[in-house]
Structure 1
Amino acid sequence: MISKRLRALRKERKLLQRDIAKYLNITTSAYGYYEQGKRRADAETIKKLADFFNVSTDYLLGRTDDRKIYNNVDTETNNTKPLDYAKLEEKVIKRFLDEGILVENESISESMFNKVLEYGTETAIEILKLENQIKKISL
């Protein structure tokens, strides 16, 4: 999905691949591989591309069709916390590659994503509950 979005955004702005490659400080062919889907952009590059095109990383990654950039705002303190889904995705994909669950340049299926979300959240909640209990006992 990212390859299609990058190409469409570049063409909308009437730019050449070399223009964006120069911004990213990479070769034109390296950027071309992103648009062809032959190379995966790391989290930092995805952030730079989102900034360059003024769209959200979620839009680039195909998670939403909404181009707007949203921030997680803590309404009590009015502090803005930028969301960093690309970094999380990169870590999950790296772990899946290391474990042999995912093959290089393969996308995570919806089923796999749902399992990560469901089981990961449940496990994190249980661990955090246990940590809180240990803290209470320690005091």
Structure 2
Amino acid sequence: MLLRRINDLRIDNDLSIAQLARNINVSPRSLQYYLKGQYELPIPILLDIANYFNVSTDYLLGRTDNKEINR
């Protein structure tokens, strides 16, 4: 679920892996490994992705279908 949602957000925003990686300050190769499930996605990067797309981590983790962040 996590990887699919991140990829869907990336594609919906017309971003390449390299562009998203640059925006969240990770190497494109590392991001590619995370998105393929070859490496576990570290929590700080999960938070960076959620912040970048302005969605909740619960949404990325598949705990909710609501993208909104509850503050």
Q: TM-score, normalised by structure 1?
A: 0.49
Separation in structure 2 between the aligned mates of residue 55 and residue 9 of structure 1, nearest angstrom:
10
Report what 1:90 is aligned to.
none
Query: CA contact under 8 A between 2:2 and 2:60: conserved in structure 1?
Result: yes
Which runs of 5 or more residues in structure 1 are unaligned? 72-139
1:65-84, Cα deviation, whole Å (9 max, x unpaired): 1101002xxxxxxxxxxxxx
SS of match in other structure, 2:8: helix
1:93 aligned partner: none
Instruction: State the partner residue of 2:21.
Output: 21
Matched letter for residue 13 of structure 2: R
C-alpha separation between the residues in 2 aligned to 1:31 and 1:64? 23
Moved over 4 A (4+): none
Name the counterpart of 2:36.
36
| Bigger share in strand | 1
The correspondence of residues 1-139 of structure 1 with structure 2, limited to 5 A, is 1-71=1-71
Unaligned runs of 5+ in 2: none
* 3-state SS of paired residue (1:23): helix
Aligned sequence identity (%): 35
How far apart are the structure 2 equivalents of 1:26 and 1:45? 8
Q: Distance in 1 between matches of 2:24 and 2:39?
A: 15
Asked which structure has the greater CA Rg, the reply is 1
CA distance in 2, matches of 1:24, 1:39: 17
Instruction: State the 1:44 CA deviation.
Output: 1.2
